[in-house]
Structure 1
């Protein structure tokens, strides 16, 4: 096992913004002497003062002892010049996201520090291979991508470029662990793990909005209430900044040679052009001006429980409905799994979990006019909201019965315009697909990707863990139906999903 850098090893951080000062705080608390440098006069000294104040605040709140706060503060200092960093054992760069600026900095550092000094870049989007290419010894440089705020967020992506020595990556991995972080290894590819795998969370919501399936507030509510994400996609884009999120999407799209899977959204481009950038400007997808009342998500009006509820089979949704209806003393009967895969019957309505087809297409292909499709939920037993869509051939009586059934189980229902797939299912399928491609292309292993997505962006489950819970046949079917409906390479199935699907024998005729 590789050892971390010892606490006596001097660590230097270049760039005293939020990320740089946060990284300096983490290293100082771990016991290292830390020097913070910034090319802007006085910026490093001000950042050191701010970090010391944060440490004092943490001590006042009882989150660390007064002695620990004082000791960490005593290990922090501002460097007047790059020459002051000459005895560093590790230099972490956290400057502007510009390739030439980073290359130039590391070339200058290489002439100052010892041969054993390790270099780390905190870049979130620039190729680590490209940054290291200007060095005489590119083996000493790797990515050490912290997440904001660095003192709080557990994840660190340790990113290896083509020339990165394995010992460099392993030492940084062990050091991040010693600093109380949870590191994951990744290969230098566009977006690394988190920024790449997270793209569908935004892009599928934007696609559904573009198709007028429902509104922004409802899509956010569904991803929170049904899927279990901490924030809806539009809320999260507003928090990140629409300009930043749009730029990252553009960067990844261009880096993958305009692969349609990462195509940016015209809607997001319009918001950026308008200067509606999110919370920082007071207006984004949501309005943050004082006094503005946030609208409610689309929710079907309450209806009395329908008569003649039948639950079919033992799927997660059928089991959850049985438990919830029983708890509310709503009568129902149970039957064996129906040949057509339906989960429930209410009057004339036939309810199915979405498989990526529109309800209308499913109705036409099965000859069941009163078809209603229900979205995925992270946990059907506890979800407070579900999306449904009705086939255009579904009459009003059947549509009402399907809504009334879910309401009788204590679930708020958002009735969406019929389109291929429903928000949670298609988003989860696309996240799993992207994660599978990342594994297939050697970006990281499955465990690292699931860990990165849970810790880096707070997903309720890792996308591959979620795919296993749903079942690869379901994920594959949803993706295949989306690809067929849209006729776009955007929804192509990852070769890894195909391989594992057939290896499990599920593809046998």
Structure 2
């Protein structure tokens, strides 16, 4: 088996569509010889031509030397048939997602290449075990899941099937590095790592919407401004396509035994069935104009003409809340029975907090001071609250230049429960041995553009705090969806780092 880090190796790419072209390009840029094949008449030549055009554009932009581009052109071969894959040290299949098609193709490739040639599938959803089942040499069969667009997305998941050999897995890790990617080793599992790990972000956003806690625009704004996510869950779903993310959600949910932590909502299915698939259909969670801009992603900011509050009483305060109130010009004093009662619950809703502390729910204004509060602050109240207190506090906070989002009662507001759910699912992925803690973080940051990986989020919030939020969510809702991962629970209780794999 070739050492891809050192040798001048030859890689075959079967399938010259968008993904295949990307794999060809990064392989050439990594100094590899590439043979590209496509079953369509003229498909391989057309795909190779597109790759070379992109390489020429890199020369025009000054990011690639002309001599390097010429060398890449010389290392690219268009296959006339599968027999031209004979010299390959690895073959990467990148055809459409059909198990029987892939099985037949793998059997054909096995009949051509050497016994030490690795054969990898770029599948994003089919089990490697199912593909390898029909192969003679199962130890050399694995997954190599790239992300679109391949030249820009640095992550590649190396999927190890039940019979994939250590040598095969390590060779593909080296090949991924040679291609300029960041490889992570993942066990064969439904959705692999990124598609599994990304479920919490979207499905919890959908759950919060279902409870009428906040609108999609409000949730997106909170996650962007306070959580530093590049996109909120609803704009992300509309971008990737609900015809993509709903079926994936259902596959992962069913294949993991209908674990409630992976459950989506009826609204998600409704949009799918209605053909509202996001930007591609100009309607999804939002509606889009001809330029692809959402026309109704508004209403995240709470606007009020109330007189800003100048005094309040604090119930179970903390330093971050004290600083925010000071900046807003709200003096903290004793409760005279008239002023707003301001609190910063962690994992509780305003109702539970009021009952537990004895605070007057009509005057209670809950403020989320977790995450980044420099641009946006979330406030919420219990049912039956006197909203004049909320509006007065919101007006004072808005006076500091911050935007305010007012939501309905929710355990953990929006940001706390979203981050805790992401962290908890990451911990569960570590618990079932799908990948190492470090690779889980790397994959979600590179594959989904998360500001922090799931376990890093748990560390950022604190393991004990994350566990407490999950326990409050489970107790208040009575829903097994919020069952804490044993990985998180044990490390929080023992005071161990969440990344501790011991």
Q: Work out whether the TM-score is over 0.5.
A: yes
Structure 2: distance between partners of 1:269 and 1:305: 43
Aligned match for 1:495, one of 483, 486, 498 = 486
Change in 2 beyond 3 A, CA 1:422/1:313: closer
State the aligned residue count. Answer: 491
Which residue of 296, 299, 302 maps to 1:297? 299
Partner residue of 1:349 out of 327, 336, 340: 340
Distance 1:297 1:354 in 2: 25
Q: SS at 1:158's partner residue? A: strand
- Say whether the 8 Å CA contact 1:310–1:346 is kept in structure 2: no
Partner of 2:474: 483
Shift of 1:406: 2.5
Shift in Å, 1:257:
2.0
Alpha-carbon spacing, 1:176–1:402, altered in 2? closer, same or farther (3 Å): same
Q: 1:413 to 1:61 in 2, by over 3 A?
A: same
The match for 1:374 is: 367
Q: CA deviation at 1:290?
A: 2.8
| CA distances 1:330-360 after superposition (whole Å, capped 9, x unpaired) | 545679xx9xxxxx99973333334333212
- Confirm or deny: 8 A CA contact 2:88 2:117 kept in the other structure: yes
Aligned to 1:36, the other structure's residue is in SS state strand
How far apart are the structure 1 equivalents of 2:457 and 2:337? 29
Q: 1:302-347 CA distances to partner (integer Å, 9 max, x unpaired)?
A: 555421367899956337527x82xxxx545679xx9xxxxx9997
Secondary structure of the residue aligned to 2:398 is helix
For 1:109-508, what aligned pairs fall within 5 Å after superposition?
109-290=109-290, 293-302=295-304, 303-308=306-311, 315=318, 317-318=320-321, 321=324, 325=327, 331=329, 348-369=339-360, 370-375=363-368, 377-380=370-373, 382=374, 384-504=375-495
1:81-126 CA-to-partner distances (Å, cap 9, x unmatched) read: 1111112100011111222222221122111100110111111122
Q: Deviations over 1:349-392 (max 9, x none)?
A: 33333433321222122211233223365323x3x122221122
For residues 178 and 256 of structure 1, the distance between their equivalents in structure 2, rounded to whole angstroms, comes to 34
Residues 91 and 117 of structure 1 are in contact (CA less than 8 Å); yes or no, is this contact kept in structure 2? yes
Aligned residue runs from structure 1 range 6-155, under 5 A: 6=6, 8-155=8-155
What SS does the aligned partner of 2:341 have?
A: strand
In structure 1, the residue corresponding to 2:227 is in which secondary structure? coil
* Residues in 2 aligned to 1:38 and 1:87: alpha-carbon distance in whole angstroms: 17
Secondary structure at the counterpart of residue 16 of structure 2: coil
CA 401–97 in structure 1, closer or farther in 2 if over 3 Å, else same: same
Residues 143 and 319 of structure 1, relative CA distance in 2, 3 Å threshold: farther
Aligned-CA RMSD value: 2.6
Secondary structure of 2:408's counterpart equals: coil
Distance in 2, matches of 1:461 and 1:386, equals 20
Could you state the TM-score of these two structures normalised by the residue count of structure 2? 0.91
> Where does the alignment leave 5 or more consecutive residues of structure 1 unmatched?
339-343
Classify 1:406/1:252 alpha carbon distance in 2 versus 1 (closer, same or farther; 3 Å).
same
TM superposition shift of 1:206: 0.9
Deviation at 1:479, TM superposition (A): 0.9
CA 1:36/1:3 → structure 2, altered by over 3 Å: closer, same or farther? closer
Aligned to 1:341: none
SS at match of 1:465: helix
Most deviating of 122-131 and 240-249? 122-131
CA distance in 2, matches of 1:40, 1:230: 38
Assess if the C-alpha contact under 8 Å between 2:226 and 2:372 holds in 1.
Answer: yes
Q: Secondary structure at the match of 1:415?
A: strand
